[in-house]
């Protein structure tokens, strides 16, 4: 049922009803002990204005298009008004940031409006990001700027449509207020347009939500949080029990490990780099959460991170994400020890994580290559050899895998030549070509549906051509031996390898245009990213390689944690 009036929504607000609250009511930055949340109201803004929304998410929570277009919607989801049934709060949690325990963190610029009962019967939290200060804001203002909000809004929905587990985004609103930010922490702050994103999820509980009470010895708070998390999100683990016991907590940890591995395998599949995999940014549901300095791997470089804060160590680089997922799970497991009172069952899950991840990775890579599950050493070696080749010469990951399905498999005994691999040519970067294109040219190309300019035959080193041909010969042999037909191979690959992703330069172009008051590219990108696996003939320009002007431009190559 879709409601035309937001006041018709039903909230159950179970988080604040059933978990320990901060006893202090004042919205002052301070340590908060013995609690899972603090009640706090959003700060009103001067001129709320809706500039984009996801119709699918509005449908999900039961809000009609008429309600979305109302002034009341903009007021509520920019933080200037609340519904009577809401009970807003900010969550308490801690976390390891870049490998170091940071102590109390919490929702510093996120305010949960409440938990709404949706038409499908599920309960989802509506959370505003950028709605003002909370007791966890530390020295910050709790606000968000347009550029970070556009990126959060678009990426939340892009990831969902790519089939990656993620929080969702309902709306993107301007506030009418200026927010001062120093984007690269270099002593050059400036005013930027303020904005608010409404994020939607069944839970915003993080690994750090358990770490904080465990670090303080607040075992009863830890137990209450774990028990309610199991009741609300893992009820099947109770198996007739009246209360969770040690085995239930272990079973929950196992499911978190499984969903985390699935999420990271999908990140690797589509070339997504989270950029800030701190334990406070890890969802207990295995959802991608907190879209800050993320980026898409354009040229295949496993050592690349989009995060300026992490540039020196590259702790959260693309190729490090599986290992960091395990590291974070170890920290969650440590936090659960006071409840389980036995390290061994938790340790076994941690020890089995690599095998768990590897099994999922072999399924994923088998799909990307159209070969079925890579269930032997030869198949795994074939995939690993390709990834090594891609890192040797600047190659667009998304385009390469998509175009690999366009290369016909030759008959047995037929030798492949470089010309046979012609569909792959557009995946190679050549810095000497196309350097004269500007961001304005790119904007016009997108607006006009013009194909990306560039040479028909990029300069690819002869040795690399030879190695790639040799690899393809092995690949073709595996494809012929596969149980999949040629048509099934292509269908499997196209379902695993998107044509359209939220390339960093595309997001920046949308931000540039939106900052000028034109939000059409945000809307257009949202529409393109709804069907990332479809060809979309009139939108080929959105699938183009990164242009040379974007190679080193801020927002297109590197971002800070305030981005």
Helix, strand, coil in percent for the chain, rounding step 5: 45, 15, 40
Among candidate residues 280, 290, 299, 367, the one labeled active-site is 280
Q: Is the dihedral of CA 383, 467, 455, 370 positive or negative?
A: negative
Phi-psi region of 99 (alpha: psi -120 to 50; beta: other; left: phi over 0): left
Contacts of residue 481, defined as CB under 8 A and 6 or more positions apart, other chains included, come to: none
Contact 457, 424 (CB under 8 A): no
**Which residues is 273 bridged to in the sheet?**
295
Contact 464, 389 (CB under 8 A): yes
Contact 310, 98 (CB under 8 A): yes
Q: Which residue's structure tokens are 């690599």?
A: 354
Q: Which helix (H) or strand (E) element contains residue 201?
A: strand 190-201
**Which residues is 197 bridged to in the sheet?**
129, 172
Q: Which residue's structure tokens are 């959370």?
A: 127
User: Whole-angstrom Cα distance, residue 20 to residue 36?
Assistant: 6
Contact 294, 325 (CB under 8 A): no
> Measured between alpha carbons, how far is residue 381 from residues 273, 299, 327, 541 in Å?
24, 21, 26, 34
Catalytic-residue membership of 344? no
**Which residues is 52 bridged to in the sheet?**
172
User: Whole-angstrom Cα distance, residue 123 to residue 126?
Assistant: 10
User: Whole-angstrom Cα distance, residue 477 to residue 475?
Assistant: 5
SS (H, E, C) 76-112: HHCCCCCCCCCCCEEECCEEEECCEEEEECCCCCEEE
Q: In angstroms, what is the C-alpha Rg of the chain?
A: 24
Contacts of residue 432, defined as CB under 8 A and 6 or more positions apart, other chains included, come to: 459
Q: Which residue's structure tokens are 């599950």?
A: 373
Q: How many helices (H) and strands (E) does the chain have?
A: 18, 13
Phi-psi region of 437 (alpha: psi -120 to 50; beta: other; left: phi over 0): beta
Helix axes 520-529, 146-162, angle to 10 degrees: 20
Which are the catalytic amino acids?
Answer: 280
């Amino acid at each position: 049922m879709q409601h035309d009036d937001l006041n018709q929504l039903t909230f159950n607000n179970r988080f604040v009803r059933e978990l320990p609250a901060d006893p202090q009511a004042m919205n002052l930055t301070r340590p908060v002990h013995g609690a899972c949340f603090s009640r706090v109201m959003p700060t009103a803004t001067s001129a709320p204005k809706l500039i984009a929304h996801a119709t699918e998410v509005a449908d999900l929570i039961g809000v009609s298009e008429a309600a979305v277009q109302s002034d009341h919607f903009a007021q509520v989801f920019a933080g200037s008004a609340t519904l009577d049934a809401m009970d807003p709060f900010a969550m308490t949690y801690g976390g390891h940031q870049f490998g170091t325990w940071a102590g109390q963190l919490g929702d510093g610029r996120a305010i949960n409006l409440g938990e709404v009962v949706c038409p499908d019967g599920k309960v989802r939290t509506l959370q505003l990001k950028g709605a003002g200060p909370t007791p966890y804001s530390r020295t910050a203002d709790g606000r968000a700027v347009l550029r970070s909000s556009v990126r959060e809004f678009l990426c939340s929905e892009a990831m969902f449509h790519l089939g990656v587990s993620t929080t969702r985004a309902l709306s993107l609103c301007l506030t009418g207020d200026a927010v001062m930010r120093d984007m690269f922490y270099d002593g050059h702050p400036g005013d930027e347009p303020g904005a608010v994103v409404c994020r939607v999820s069944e839970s915003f509980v993080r690994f750090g939500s358990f770490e904080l009470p465990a670090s303080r010895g607040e075992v009863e708070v830890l137990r209450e949080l774990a028990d309610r998390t199991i009741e609300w999100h893992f009820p099947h683990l109770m198996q007739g029990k009246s209360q969770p016991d040690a085995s239930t907590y272990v079973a929950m940890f196992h499911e978190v490990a499984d969903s985390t591995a699935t999420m990271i395998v999908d990140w690797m599949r589509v070339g997504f780099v989270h950029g800030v995999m701190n334990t406070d940014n890890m969802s207990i549901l295995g959802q991608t959460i907190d879209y800050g300095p993320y980026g898409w791997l354009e040229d295949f470089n496993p050592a690349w991170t989009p995060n300026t804060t992490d540039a020196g160590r590259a702790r959260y680089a693309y190729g490090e994400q599986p290992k960091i997922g395990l590291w974070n799970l170890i920290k969650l497991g440590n936090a659960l020890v006071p409840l389980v009172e036995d390290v061994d069952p938790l340790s076994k899950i941690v020890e089995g994580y690599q095998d768990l991840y590897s099994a999922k990775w072999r399924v994923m890579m088998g799909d990307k290559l159209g070969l079925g599950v890579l269930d032997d050493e030869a198949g795994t070696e074939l995939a690993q050899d390709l990834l090594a080749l891609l890192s040797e010469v600047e190659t667009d990951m998304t385009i390469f895998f998509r175009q690999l399905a366009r290369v016909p498999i030759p008959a047995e005994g037929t030798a492949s030549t470089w010309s046979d691999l012609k569909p792959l040519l557009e995946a190679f970067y050549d810095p000497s070509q196309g350097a004269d294109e500007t961001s304005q040219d790119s904007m016009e190309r997108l607006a006009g549906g013009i194909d990306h300019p560039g040479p028909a035959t990029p300069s690819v080193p002869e040795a690399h051509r030879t190695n790639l041909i040799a690899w393809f010969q092995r690949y073709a042999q595996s494809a012929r031996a596969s149980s999949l037909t040629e048509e099934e191979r292509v269908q499997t690959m196209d379902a695993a390898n998107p044509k359209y992703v939220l390339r960093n330069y595309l997001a920046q172009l949308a931000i540039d245009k939106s900052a000028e008051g034109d939000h059409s590219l945000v809307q257009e990108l949202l529409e393109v990213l709804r069907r990332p696996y479809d060809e979309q003939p009139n939108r080929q320009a959105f699938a183009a390689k990164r242009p040379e002007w974007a190679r080193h431009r801020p927002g297109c190559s590197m971002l800070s944690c305030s981005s």
